[in-house]
Structure 1
Amino acid sequence: MTPTEIKGRSLRTILPEGTDEGSISVDLIDEAKGQAAQNLDRYITATKAWFNTKLAPHSFVPGDKVLRWVLNPEKLQNKWEGPFMVTQTSTRGAYCLAELDGALLPHPWNTEALKKYYM
């Protein structure tokens, strides 16, 4: 057993005379696990904060023209189709759409599948 010292974030330590090497290493492992969990929590919090700054919340009002995401686009097919007219807003970001000629679409669409259409 060679004496070492604690430097920075190292887990190396000097063992006092007459101590059991096994009990100290278990304590160091538990301490390292706790520190790793704290680091992971900080990383997750920072990543969420950064990602949320990049989100652009958007909402639509009746009369807006929007494009709708194609559910299963083929290889060379456009990923957006439309334009459609927003006819009604619902709770939690759901919108009822109609084609420009007035035909209603069968079910509401979520905000994430829509984007504003500019002529």
Structure 2
Amino acid sequence: MNLDFVEEVRERASVRAAMYKARMAKAYNSRVRPRNFQVGDLVMRKAEASGPIGKLDSKWEGPYKVTEIVGTGAYKLQQMDGKNIPRTWNIANLKKYYS
């Protein structure tokens, strides 16, 4: 390999890596379903996110009511009897409750 072409080879590798990254992002974005909740929606939360669960325990707890949208993907929850849940919950640990 000639040292005169090192920069050219490095530039081609950089372009190929950027194209690969763009293809992977496009493939991921075509499969992912964006989720968001509005204030007042009923949601279920992952039981393992709040503490350890056993083999036969339910995987989801709830329903809970969304009381506040704290940030992108972060929500404050409230139990159905009106008690607030003490911390915020990420959207990765929530799913919509269908009654």
TM-score by length of 1: 0.66
In structure 2, what residue type is equivalent to 1:65?
L
Alignment partner, residue 118 of structure 1: 98
Higher strand share: 2
**Structure 2: 5+ residue stretches without partners:** none
**Paired residues for 1:1-119 under 5 Å:** 25-69=2-46, 70-71=48-49, 73-74=52-53, 76=55, 77-119=57-99
CA pair 34-75 structure 1, distance change in 2 beyond 3 A: farther
Distance in 2 between residues matched to 1:117 and 1:31, nearest whole Å: 55
**Aligned residue pairs: how many?**
96
Q: Aligned equivalents of 1:109 and 1:117: distance in 2? A: 15
Q: Percent identity?
A: 34
Q: Give the deviation of 1:29 after TM superposition.
A: 4.2
Q: Which residue of 2 aligns with 1:4?
A: none
Is the CA contact 1:73–1:79 (under 8 Å) kept in the aligned structure 2? no
* Distance in 1, Cα, partners of 2:75 & 2:63: 14
Tell me the C-alpha RMSD between the 2 structures. 2.2
**Larger relative CO (CA 8 A, sep 6+): 1 or 2?**
2
The unaligned stretches of length 5 or more in structure 1 are: 1-23
Q: Distance in 2 between matches of 1:88 and 1:30?
A: 52
